[in-house]
Amino acid sequence: MNLKLGYIQIRDIQFAKTSAIKDGVLNVNAKELEALVLEDENFASVKFDIARPGESVRIMPVKDVIEPRVKVSGDGDIFPGMISKVQTVGSGVTHVLKGAAIVTTGQVVGFQEGIIDMTGLGAEYTPFSKTLNLVVDFTPIKNLTPHKYEESLRKAGLRIAYEIGKLGKEITPDEVKEYEFLPLLESIAKYPNLPKVGYVQMLQSQGLLHDTYVYGIDMKLSLTTMLSPTEVFDGAILSGNCVSACDKNTTYHHQNNPVIEDLFEQHGKTLNFCAMIITNENVFLMDKQRSSDWTAKLTKYLGLDGAIISQEGFGNPDTDLIMNCKKVEEAGVKTVIITDEYAGREGTSQSLADADPAADAVVTGGNANQVITLPPLKKIIGSIGHVEKIAGGFKGNMAKDGSITVEIQAIIGATNELGFNRLSAR
Amino acid sequence: MILVTNNILAFNKYGKEIEVKFNEETLCELLFRVRDFVHSGHKLLTHPLSGSVKPNETCFKSVLISERKEGTDFESLKIIENSIQLVKNFQKYEIPKEYLKDLREIDLTLIGGAIRK
């Protein structure tokens, strides 16, 4: 598969009478989008707002972040199986509104988490303090169940991103990158001397607020399978995961998966990136057994020399991660795992719910129990609710000046397990 | 299978279908109780840290274990011990009462998916 991503650099977002992109400025007619959202009778109202880097704005509780993209040529359409019809994507030309993001917020359940600060210390911990955010705040009708609210909210966010993405169809991109993913045998023939490396992506799939969709299919119902990484760039994998702000993968993370981008960068130079495997993280131990068996079987069948395994979430998925790692290593394939840690505030406690000597190459996204103090910000989009009590916080953590002390697990993407975050160490 | 839970919704919903061991207790007490079952020969069927709601953000948990008692299953023991260890890393604080309904609902949904299988 060959996919060209054309990046249209967005410099600002403005509300306007006509939706269009002019000289890098994304003009948005909020009324039109409101009408689109309210076609879903589960919503009582919807509010649009804009948050720019550096502004004194806090957004919470964030449910998803989505990058607007549009299919210019090639099979299928963006967000297949969810917003557009089911057809294989990942080839042709796709335009990306780079620098812009749709951020959805809404109180699906009582407790809240998922903070994006556009300035101050908190901004250093989330990548979405650097994007121009069109924030959509959804209010449901009364007595809507959390299941239905979550589904409506998730789809509405994707529809908005889809509509906004379309504005970039006729625009000439500022930069074009080409990604080629060959059939396995061709890839091996082309780079016979390079190590064959695959990417195993684990997808959250535990239940309400903890799901991931692949071509519209709830991943907990799928066996471990394969796809082309270029399909992911076109929105084949979508987030329905609203819990665990710091280490969940939003749709934006999937669309910009840095493991895939980096493997492509090294492809043909230091390694042969020739397989992508996706697997789930169910709660039933028997499912874990089955899925990790399949992961190992596939890596062996494909004849991989090495695999990178990325996790999503905390606790329960630690067990899937270690099962995958151990079994893939036993199949004779070297692994590197990517995770994050809950090592206590001092960072000295056991940090994962599972471990094995086979996991001897580990990349961490950081310690989610690390404590930071967020300064008071002038404007809140969404609702602050009881953040000081619930979102990685603790009793009495709001100071007189309005600053709040929280664990970084409260911040969207702070310890992301795809490596799409701003934490680093020397 | 046997359901070990401190979530009254799970007891009410599944109490007639399967054996449910319900206690009003904290999350830690629940995990200790699950560990006792593992020590006495039951196997874990679901992960004790199901769901990504952090241990200090929820107080409800439902865990499925095997009906049959055999020798201690060391894989189950490792999982429950590691889970208890990890829960201790989180700062404890009081969860606002108005959230309890939603937290029970999430736990019920997660375990419901497993029971239906």
A185-206 confidence digits (pLDDT tens): 999 999 999 999 999 999 999 8
The reported pLDDT for the residue numbered B91 is: 67
Beta-bridge partners for A382: A60
In a domain, A238, yes or no: yes
CB < 8 Å to B95, chain A = 111, 389-390
Rounded Cα distance between B82 and B76, Å, is: 10
Tokens of A283: 């709660």
A62-116 confidence digits (pLDDT tens): 999 999 999 999 999 999 999 999 999 999 999 999 999 999 998 887 666 789 9
In a domain, A205, yes or no: yes
**A34-51: average pLDDT:** 97
**A380-395: average pLDDT:** 63
The beta-strand segments (E) located in chain B are 2-5, 19-22, 62-65
E strand or H helix at A105, and its extent? strand A100-105
Is the separation of the CB atoms in A153 and A102 below 8 Å? no
Strand A196-204 with A272-281, pairing = parallel
Check whether A278 has a pLDDT greater than 90.
yes
B51-107 confidence digits (pLDDT tens): 777 777 788 999 999 998 888 999 999 999 989 988 887 766 677 787 888 889 888
User: DSSP letter at B88?
Assistant: T
In a domain, A42, yes or no: yes
In a domain, A273, yes or no: yes
Provide the residue type at A316 as one letter: N
**A292-298: average pLDDT:** 98
- Split into its structural domains, chain A has a count of 1
The reported pLDDT for the residue numbered A255 is: 98
In a domain, A126, yes or no: yes
CB < 8 Å to B94, chain A = 389, 395
Q: Provide the H-helix boundaries in A302-395.
A: 316-330, 387-390
Beta-bridge partners for A49: A135
Whether the CB of A270 is below 8 Å from some CB of chain B: the reply is no
Cα separation values, A22 from A28, A162, A168, A191, A327, Å: 11, 18, 10, 43, 52
The reported pLDDT for the residue numbered A381 is: 93
The reported pLDDT for the residue numbered A101 is: 98
The reported pLDDT for the residue numbered A110 is: 67
Return the higher-pLDDT residue of A407 and A132.
A132
**B27-33: average pLDDT:** 95
Q: Is A246 a catalytic residue?
A: no
Residue from A20, A22, A3 nearest A176 by CA: A3
Check whether A314 has a pLDDT greater than 90.
no
Residue numbers of the domain that contains A20: 2-410
A220-261 confidence digits (pLDDT tens): 999 999 999 999 999 999 999 877 899 999 999 999 999 999
* Average of per-residue pLDDT values in chain A: 93
Rounded Cα distance between A24 and B66, Å, is: 60
Residue from A264, A201, A271 nearest A236 by CA: A201
In a domain, A415, yes or no: no
Q: Do A349 and B88 touch (CB under 8 A)?
A: yes
Is the separation of the CB atoms in A156 and A102 below 8 Å? no
**B28-32: average pLDDT:** 95
CA nearest A347 in B: which residue? B89
The model's confidence at residue A302, banded by pLDDT at 50, 70 and 90, is: very high
Whether the CB of B71 is below 8 Å from some CB of chain A: the reply is no
Instruction: State residue B24 phi and psi, 5-degree precision.
Output: -80, 115
A269 CB neighbour count, 10 Å cutoff = 9
Q: Do A283 and B114 touch (CB under 8 A)?
A: yes
Instruction: State residue A27 phi and psi, 5-degree precision.
Output: -90, 135
Collapsing DSSP to helix, strand or coil, A92 comes out as: strand
Percent of chain A's residues with pLDDT above 70: 96
ipTM over 0.90: no
In a domain, A254, yes or no: yes
Rounded Cα distance between B42 and B34, Å, is: 9
The reported pLDDT for the residue numbered B15 is: 93
CB < 8 Å to A339, chain B = none
In a domain, A125, yes or no: yes
